[in-house]
Structure 1
């Protein structure tokens, strides 16, 4: 029996690298799965290539779809495609809405997958955000970027609640969900909360939430943190486990999957509480943490 083929789109990003490393280090996955990943940078980082030597890299432009056919030609028809790629910095999306829509709404990717009929599962993820760019959120559970998917007018949003994006990034995320739901026969859309965890094999250039807080407090200067925004941060390895579970279930059962799921951690915390947790572990004084309302940034 041939190995099942898994393609990680955006494999050089934060979540993508953790997925690759986890699958490559898993003896069972090694014996049952063939791995490939896409990258937009040329070439992919040597550190990552050395860590996952059996994973095939492919250069892909998600805007045009260039490079996707090379995957099916050289790697074969994928059984599972995990889309971790996104243009995720809100200010960049605001300055170039066309780019945000063309990258974040996976039109070319879904078109490519449609050529395989119902034989492939698409696991579609939004990307994590730098903590500095989360804004306009008052209380919400289990969404990747609360500020742009839900309005933040209540606590504990559910999957069936109406999405009300307030910026270009949010609009592109919502449109992506609608597009995938309408055009894919088998899909799992995972709305992730703040993703935290260790740095990747090849360090990503963007600031990571916990690392950013650590660096800010290490300076010994008083820092402002919002006390009226609440999130359910999810540990990156827990998110990886969820993705691996969905992958294994699809491969073993092959039953139709049409899933929209809010994915967050067990604790609902504010920015202040996140900073206090880092201070406790790292031995910083909590007097450096100044609670402020999110509105203080804008008014």
Structure 2
């Protein structure tokens, strides 16, 4: 492995993790490894992105990181995709949310190396914002309204305090095709498609809750762009993200459009030819989801485009690509 750069994907069996491993494997530039928390890694994933080394790691305790040091070595880039990302689950078990979402064991492990040559790319969330206005900028105050957002903000603060080099990516809802090894969680576009496909069945969607959903392949492009800038050293010439030899970056990563849940459903209906009368607009305040949800956490992504040169696709184009890929 001498001479080749090493990339470790933490949470590689999750939705973004699998898509990212595919993108990295397709680039043919890096030695790859990923962590998983299940007894064995998914054989279909390992076969699809091989050569890759899977490691079983418990992020809460740090058990398993020493094995990575021994057989893979110090990664040049670590991408942390692991999270307890269902807001209601975080609300019901705050201790578990903190232990998984604040990557203390990962940061401690990276600190164990004698140099600071690793870049930590960390997936954060738009839910760090309060949700009381449109198009949040990175410098706006973060005031999360639920436990998920609070733990993700705590993670950002922990990384900024303890890591020399980081790229924190505040992601919106990530959507796209199903993964190589199908994930258990409900995928947003596929769920909308499935409920609208039940002819004659009216479905309620919030007309007053806004996000900037990001297509998964754009998310992968963003992470790969940050990885390439770090490995090539080109970040040294970008004053916005570097200080001497360091990369310290905080970016909003959303799609090109601010859309409501209702508009998301309308896009699926247009593409699939469903009867629009099946879609019933309701207010988010009319439903008790067991957790507070911010109303408008749409994000300004101009810094993302400026710094990394990635322009996310239009929402409807991403939805079309998602449905075409899953039906192929």
Q: TM-score, normalized by length of structure 1?
A: 0.90
CA distance in 2, matches of 1:196, 1:272: 16
Are 1:18 and 2:26 matched, yes or no? no
Give the Å deviation of 1:50: 1.1
Q: Partner of 1:137 in structure 2?
A: none
Describe the superposition over 1:212-248 as per-residue Cα deviations: whole angstroms up to 9, x where unpaired: 1001101121000000111111110011001001101
Distance between the aligned counterparts of 1:162 and 1:110, measured in 2? 24
Query: Residue 126 of structure 2 contacts residue 252 of structure 2 at CA under 8 Å; is this kept in 1?
Result: no
Give the CA deviation at 1:298: 3.3
- Spell out the pairing of 1:63-78 with structure 2 (5 A cutoff): 63-78=60-75
**1:230-241 superposed matches below 5 A:** 230-241=210-221
Alignment match, 2:255: 265
| SS at structure 2 position matched to 1:206 | coil
Write the distance in 2 (CA, Å) between the matches of 1:239 and 1:72: 28
> What are the ranges of 5 or more consecutive residues in structure 2 without an aligned counterpart?
237-244, 290-328
**Equivalent-residue separation in structure 1 for 2:150 and 2:288 (angstroms):** 21
- Given that residues 175 and 215 in structure 2 are in contact (C-alpha distance below 8 angstroms), is that contact kept between their aligned partners in structure 1? yes
CA distance in 2, matches of 1:259, 1:25: 26
Q: Does residue 112 in structure 1 map to residue 91 in structure 2? A: no
**Alignment-derived partner of residue 122 in structure 2:** 124
Whether 2:142 is the aligned partner of 1:163: answer yes
Contact between 2:35 and 2:55, CA under 8 Å: does it hold in 1?
yes
Q: Secondary structure at the match of 2:246?
A: coil
Distance 1:36 1:241 in 2: 18
Matches within 5 A, 1:287-298: 287-298=277-288
State the SS of the aligned residue for 1:38: strand
After the TM superposition, which segments of 4 or more aligned residues of structure 1 sit over 6 Å from their partners?
none
Quote the offset at 1:93 in angstroms.
1.4
- The 3-state SS of whatever aligns with 2:130 is coil
**Helix, strand or coil: the match of 1:257?**
strand
Deviations along 1:228-279, one digit per CA (max 9) or x if unpaired, are: 1111111100110010011011001073110111101111111111101101
After superposition, residues 39-50 of structure 1 pair within 5 angstroms as 39-50=36-47
* Aligned residue in 2 for 1:250: 230
Gaps of at least 5 residues in structure 1 are 127-143
Q: Which shows bigger deviation, 260-269 or 164-173?
A: 164-173
State the partner residue of 2:208: 228
Q: C-alpha separation between the residues in 2 aligned to 1:151 and 1:167?
A: 9
1:279 aligns with 2:269: yes
- Give the structure 2 partner of residue 132 of structure 1: none
Q: Across the two proteins, how many residue pairs are aligned to each other?
A: 276
CA distance in 2 between counterparts of 1:92 and 1:19 reads: 25
